[in-house]
Amino acid sequence: MDTPKTAKAATGPIRRATLQHSAVAELRAMILEGELPPGSRVPEVQLCEQLGVSRTPLREALRVLAAEGLVELRPHRGAVVTPVDPTDIAAIFQVMEALETLAATLACRNGTEAEFIELDRLHDQLMAQHKAGERAAYSMTNRRIHAWIVAMARNPALETTYSGFAAQILRARSLANYDADRWQESVDEHDGFMAALRSRDAATAGALLAEHSRRTADAVLRSLRQRMGKAAAAEVG
């Protein structure tokens, strides 16, 4: 008689955790894709119906996204999608540049042969997606490559810090519109730092990844400022 009760009791927390995880993923995607734009209030009642969850897992999901910097939890106002401030994004990119440098350096020292083979596979996939013009797939593979390099570093503190900023950088990049020239430049930069990583040249790999991050930051910030300038002009008009 005791065994069924124990199993049933365990089902509740597991289902609740699953619902929270699902809500986090759905809300994050809505923010990153602009369905919930910067500065907008998160419509909790509507989202509970849309996602098929109660208020509890939804609010737990919002706390996770608040920790990622994607939403702000404001007293008496609920959750608001964090506005995108180019100054803040520039500061985060500065930190990410240092983290990318450290990740490349440690990956050269600590990465296994199997991990480098997987990194090569991801790079080949990235090149094929660029050639086919598959921007969404390319973006996803690009994130996997950078995360894989960080994982190869085998430094939990680095990985935690990197992932803490990754969502905010991803949202800024999703709001920015890359032109074809920058996309080609980025591909060429990937070729460069991949060659250094393969040869385990830590100094060169770190320098090239830092430069790649810096050039990405310049492109994203330029696009964001242009976007905000157009929005401000439209409001005045």
Interatomic CA distance for residues 184 and 70, integer angstroms: 29
3-state secondary structure of 170: helix
Residue spans of the domains in the chain: they are 2-81, 86-236
Strands (E) in 56-97, as ranges, are 71-74, 78-81
Closest alpha carbon to 220 in 30, 65, 87: 87
pTM: 0.78
Reported as a single tens digit per residue, the pLDDT across 46-79 is 999 999 999 999 999 999 999 988 999 998 788 9
CATH classification number, 86-236, choose in 3.40.109.10, 3.30.1360.30, 1.25.40.10, 1.20.120.530: 1.20.120.530
Residue with tokens 């520039």: 90
Residue with tokens 């930069």: 189
Tell me the pLDDT tens digit for each residue of 136-168. 899 999 999 999 999 999 999 999 999 989 888
**pLDDT, tens digit (0-9, with 9 covering 90-100), for 129-141:** 999 999 989 999 9
Q: In CATH, what number does 2-81 get?
A: 1.10.10.10
